[in-house]
Amino acid sequence: MDPRFNFPEDREARSAARARALEALLIEKGVITAGSVDTVLSFFETKMGPFNGAKIVARAWTDPAFKARLVADTPAAIAELDLPAGMAGAEGEHMRAVANGEGVHNLIICTLCSCYPWPVLGLPPYWYKDPTFRSRAAREPRAVLNEFGLAVPPDVEIKVWDSSAQIRWFVVPERPAGTDGLDEGQLAALVTPEAMMGVAVAKAA
């Protein structure tokens, strides 16, 4: 492996320790209060998270016209739904949806850092920010998806979308087979964050 991408095994624990130290210092200096970080985390666990994205995808699965609007003008389509206020707020500016299907599989990454559509997907997982994932997903997405357990058929094109402060992408996965009788709530339960990142498909019914 390229030595630039070598990391100590305990890198996640180290990052966590560094974040705790930084938080303690900010509290000590009076920049934030003891509850500030918990408040932000709670907001992204209860109000802004992948449950919003799942509702959007479930609507797209049941309403082709909505799906077309979602891909054409993502913020306007999202604004049609009954979702928490702030969908266009922090990290929700300039969100764009791309739909799987018709010989195309989409994968979202941020090669620069960790840009991610927080209001629909929540906070990005650790591996999304990993430089190895970021660079390899751009160079050899098919191999990387295989390692995620997702074998994209050879005749299906993989499109990799690089998120940034200008555009934050998410994926509308394909509706699983055998879900004709399910309502939107039941369909939303099949939509995982990984499916909306493109490293997995939606769960089977």
Is there binding between residue 115 and Fe ion (CB under 5 A)? yes
Catalytic residue among 15, 36, 114, 135: 114
Rounded (10°) CA dihedral 104, 110, 115, 117: 10
Q: Catalytic annotation on 115?
A: yes
Give the residue with the Cβ less far from Fe ion, 88 or 112: 112
Give the residue with the Cβ less far from Fe ion, 109 or 145: 109
Is there binding between residue 112 and Fe ion (CB under 5 A)? yes
Residue range at the interface with Fe ion (CB under 5 A); choices 20-28, 81-89, 99-107, 109-117: 109-117
For residue 25, the minimal CB distance to Fe ion (Å) is 25
Q: How far is CA 54 from CA 95, 192, 203, in A?
A: 15, 7, 12
Q: At what angle do helices 64-72 and 50-62 cross, to 10 degrees?
A: 130
Q: Catalytic annotation on 42?
A: no
Instruction: Give the Cα-Cα-Cα angle 44, 50, 53 (nearest 5 degrees).
Output: 125
The Cβ-side half-sphere exposure at 86, using a 13 Å CA radius, reads: 13
**Closest to 49 measured CA to CA, from 120, 124, 128, 125:** 120
Stated as kind and residue range, the H or E segment containing 105 is strand 104-109
Phi-psi region of 52 (alpha: psi -120 to 50; beta: other; left: phi over 0): alpha
Is there binding between residue 113 and Fe ion (CB under 5 A)? yes
For residue 24, the minimal CB distance to Fe ion (Å) is 26
Residue range at the interface with Fe ion (CB under 5 A); choices 54-62, 66-74, 106-114, 174-182: 106-114
**Closest to 96 measured CA to CA, from 150, 139, 53, 46:** 53
Is there binding between residue 110 and Fe ion (CB under 5 A)? yes
Q: Catalytic annotation on 164?
A: no
Give the residue with the Cβ less far from Fe ion, 83 or 110: 110
For residue 115, the minimal CB distance to Fe ion (Å) is 3
Question: Which residues participate in catalysis according to the annotation?
Answer: 110, 113-115
Where on the chain is the footprint of Fe ion (CB under 5 A)?
Answer: 110, 112-115
